[in-house]
């Protein structure tokens, strides 16, 4: 153990961050595997409730130790919207993971970055440059390729529509998160998400309620814990390494989902779908890295005249 710690301490910040990001991708893939495995017996709303409940149980000791500090916020409206949109997005994504191949649902989840562009134009009235707009259009072209329109036109399945809607909803929360992180710590954001997620997922669970068996309860709890691990590892990885170096590693979950889908669910990847997924990944990666590069550019000199 001491040797492992010494080896870890000797790694560069980017390598340490990469390990955390790989752990986040692995935890996310295991979580979606449980979502699909339990999908025959537990509805997406019920799974979302049990996941939120497990997360709340894990965070409850920290919340109770200092409830005023953990739950203090100056932006309750944004907190509520983030949790409401996040809960609905979670239910939709869980249904997509249950009904679609793991790799396909994972690939469509990457469109979150693409949705931010039209949302920024419509909601924030941002001016989008030609490179970012072009990459976005190419990315949505990859989505169309994944959906594989036939001779009669585009036939969008309901699970695919749910995956795209989930990604769009998650995209609407990104701006809110950026605002919240200015004066809120990561634990506060996770605490609010756990409490509100638990309350907001209750109505979805009541519609199709059932008590789990002891084994299923353990798997549902594990699913919730993996959700927290995914968030915590992602935050840790991004904090330790350069964002530009960490961003591509998150796409490893597509590779993990292909391998698990093939091994456990006999899901053979469709070549055209995977080409579309690679186009989506390339375009979102381009947008992410270019935004990071632009932010590092020095400000233009101020003309004294």
Q: Is the pLDDT of residue 261 over 80?
A: yes
pLDDT score for 148: 72
Query: In the 8-state DSSP scheme, what is residue 251?
Result: G
DSSP states of 17-59: HHHHHHHHHHHHHHHHHHHHHTTTTS-HHHHHHHHHHHHHHHH
Q: How far apart are CA 113 and CA 286, in angstroms?
A: 10
List Cβ neighbours of 198 (8 Å cut-off, separation of 6 or more): 49, 52, 53, 55, 56
Q: How far apart are CA 268 and CA 31, in angstroms?
A: 20
**Residue 60 domain-assigned?**
yes
* Region 173-177 average pLDDT: 72
Query: In terms of pLDDT, which residue wins out, 133 or 293?
Result: 133
pLDDT in tens, 206-250: 998 989 999 999 999 999 889 889 988 887 887 787 776 777 888
pLDDT score for 2: 66
Q: How far apart are CA 130 and CA 2, in angstroms?
A: 52
pLDDT score for 9: 67
DSSP states of 113-163: HHHHHHHHHHTS-PPPPHHHHHHHHHHHHHHHHHH--BTTB----HHHHHH
**Residue 300 domain-assigned?**
no
pLDDT score for 6: 66
**Residue 10 domain-assigned?**
no
pLDDT score for 77: 87
The 3-state secondary structure of 151-168 reads CCECCCCHHHHHHHHHHH
Pull the structure tokens for residue 291: 């935004």
Across all residues in the chain, what is the average pLDDT?
Answer: 84
Number of domains in the chain: 1
Residue pair 197/89 in contact (Cβ under 8 Å)? The answer is no
Q: How far apart are CA 274 and CA 170, in angstroms?
A: 23
**Residue 6 domain-assigned?**
no
Q: State the helix-helix crossing angle for 252-265 and 271-296, rounded to 10 degrees.
A: 160
Pull the structure tokens for residue 188: 């506060």
pTM over 0.75: yes
**Residue 297 domain-assigned?**
no
Which structural domain, as residue segments, surrounds residue 93?
Answer: 21-292
**Residue 274 domain-assigned?**
yes
Q: Which of 35-49, 82-96, 131-145 is predicted with the least confidence, judged by mean pLDDT?
A: 131-145
Q: Which helix (H) or strand (E) holds 250?
A: none
Residues of the chain with pLDDT > 90: what percent?
A: 33
Residue pair 230/20 in contact (Cβ under 8 Å)? The answer is no
Q: Is the pLDDT of residue 178 over 70?
A: no
pLDDT score for 299: 39
Q: Is the pLDDT of residue 150 over 90?
A: no
**Residue 82 domain-assigned?**
yes
- Quote the longest CA-to-CA distance of the chain: 75
């Amino acid at each position: 153990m001491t040797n492992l710690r010494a080896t870890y301490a000797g790694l560069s910040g980017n390598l340490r961050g990469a390990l955390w990001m790989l752990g986040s991708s692995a935890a996310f893939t295991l979580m979606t595997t449980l979502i699909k495995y339990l999908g025959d017996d537990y509805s997406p709303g019920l799974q979302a409730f049990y996941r939120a409940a497990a997360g709340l149980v894990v965070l409850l000791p920290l919340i109770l130790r200092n409830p005023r500090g953990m739950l203090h916020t100056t932006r309750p409206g944004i907190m509520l919207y983030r949790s409401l949109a996040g809960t609905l997005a979670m239910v939709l994504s869980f249904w997509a993971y249950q009904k679609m191949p793991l790799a396909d649902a994972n690939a469509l989840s990457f469109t979150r970055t693409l949705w931010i562009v039209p949302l920024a134009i419509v909601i924030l009235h941002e001016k989008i440059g030609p490179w970012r707009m072009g990459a976005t259009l190419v990315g949505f072209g990859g989505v169309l390729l994944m959906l594989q329109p036939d001779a009669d036109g585009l036939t969008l399945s309901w699970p695919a529509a749910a995956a795209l809607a989930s990604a769009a909803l998650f995209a609407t929360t990104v701006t809110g998160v950026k605002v919240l992180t200015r004066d809120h710590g990561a634990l506060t954001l996770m605490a609010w998400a756990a409490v509100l997620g638990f309350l907001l997922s209750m109505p979805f669970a009541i519609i199709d309620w059932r008590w789990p068996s002891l084994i299923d309860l353990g798997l549902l709890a594990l699913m919730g814990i993996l959700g927290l691990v995914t968030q915590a590892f992602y935050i840790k990885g991004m904090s330790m390494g350069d964002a530009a170096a960490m961003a591509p590693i998150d796409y490893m979950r597509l590779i993990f989902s292909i391998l698990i889908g093939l091994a456990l669910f006999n899901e053979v990847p469709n070549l055209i779908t995977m080409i579309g997924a690679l186009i989506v990944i390339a375009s979102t990666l381009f947008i992410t890295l270019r935004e990071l590069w632009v932010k590092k550019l020095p400000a233009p000199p101020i003309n004294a005249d």
